[in-house]
């Protein structure tokens, strides 16, 4: 899951980027409001963490501009502005949730996961597609109640697909969901990871829609053949 972190404090930003990466997010980090506005215009993120006291353009303006163009990206505001009036202003400007500094990073991660679940139309912590059950919190996958070991890239790809069951995602969309700015992407990197993923969960569980992209479907039950 790709996340935009907007934080001008270098020490806080570095710690948050590392912690969010360890939690399974693909993190792009910017340090001012103008850079945040440019990054958000790309439309490649599933969630954003936004500080309010930013140079260039303050976070409240960035948030209002985002909502003015009807962008429904989930936004978690993380700020030292602790007055009730500031929190009300942030929520009224379009923030989905609000965390005050200093904060516990585990709480930030939990709130981000809750936001993305609501955005996907589900309050459930698990992602399910038939006998395929993915747990984003524990970073675990089970197929028909049996654990399946995945690499970090394989897990992120499957998570992106399972967040939109039945939807066809292009290779470019999958790359955007899994790789950040500083990560080099090989020309066939997504296909290689999908190949390994299919070997682990079944060749028919991830379907290639020729010329369009890929989608996840419910795997057949043990002993059953996949529908044609």
Report the mean per-residue pLDDT for the chain: 89
SS3 assignment, position 190:
helix
Look at residue 6 and tell me whether its pLDDT is greater than 90: yes
pLDDT at 178 over 60: yes
For 98-130, write each residue's pLDDT tens digit: 999 999 999 999 999 889 888 766 656 788 898
Mean pLDDT on 147-175? 89
Give the C-alpha separation, 64 to 53, whole Å.
14
Tell me if 135 sits within 8 A of 125, measured CB to CB.
yes
21-54 pLDDT, tens digit per residue, is 999 899 999 999 999 999 999 888 989 999 999 9
Which residues fall within 8 angstroms of residue 211, CB to CB, at 6 or more apart? none
Annotate 7-61 with three-state secondary structure: CCCHHHHHHHHHHHHHCCCEEEEECCHHHHHHHHCCCCCCEEEECCCCCCCCHHH
Which helix (H) or strand (E) segment holds residue 208: the answer is strand 206-209
Per domain, the residue ranges of the chain are 2-119, 127-216
Query: How far is it, in rounded angstroms, from Cα 57 to Cα 136?
Result: 34
Homologous superfamily in CATH for domain 2-119: Response regulator (3.40.50.2300)
Instruction: State the CATH class of domain 127-216.
Output: mainly alpha
Better-scored residue on pLDDT, 195 or 227: 195
The encoded tokens of residue 38 equal 């440019």
């Amino acid at each position: 899951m790709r996340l935009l972190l907007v934080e001008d404090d270098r020490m806080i930003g570095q710690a948050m980027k590392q912690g969010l990466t360890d939690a399974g997010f693909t993190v792009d980090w910017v340090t001012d409001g103008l850079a945040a506005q440019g990054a958000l215009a790309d439309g490649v993120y599933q969630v954003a963490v936004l500080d309010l006291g930013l140079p260039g353009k303050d976070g409240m303006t960035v948030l209002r501009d985002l909502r003015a163009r009807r962008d429904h990206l989930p936004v978690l505001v993380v700020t030292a502005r602790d007055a009730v009036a500031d929190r009300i202003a942030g929520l009224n400007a379009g923030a989905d949730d609000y965390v005050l500094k200093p904060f516990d990073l585990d709480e930030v991660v939990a709130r981000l996961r809750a936001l993305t679940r609501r955005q996907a139309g589900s309050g459930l912590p698990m992602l399910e597609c038939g006998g395929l059950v993915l747990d984003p919190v524990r970073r675990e996958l089970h197929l028909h109640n049996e654990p399946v070991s995945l690499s970090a890239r394989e897990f992120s790809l499957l998570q992106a697909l399972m967040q939109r069951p039945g939807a066809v995602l292009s290779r470019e969309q999958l790359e955007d969901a899994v790789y950040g700015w500083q990560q080099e992407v090989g020309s066939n990197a997504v296909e290689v990871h999908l190949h390994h993923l299919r070997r682990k969960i079944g060749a028919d569980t991830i379907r290639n829609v020729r010329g369009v992209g890929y989608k996840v479907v419910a795997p057949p039950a043990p002993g059953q053949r996949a529908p044609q």
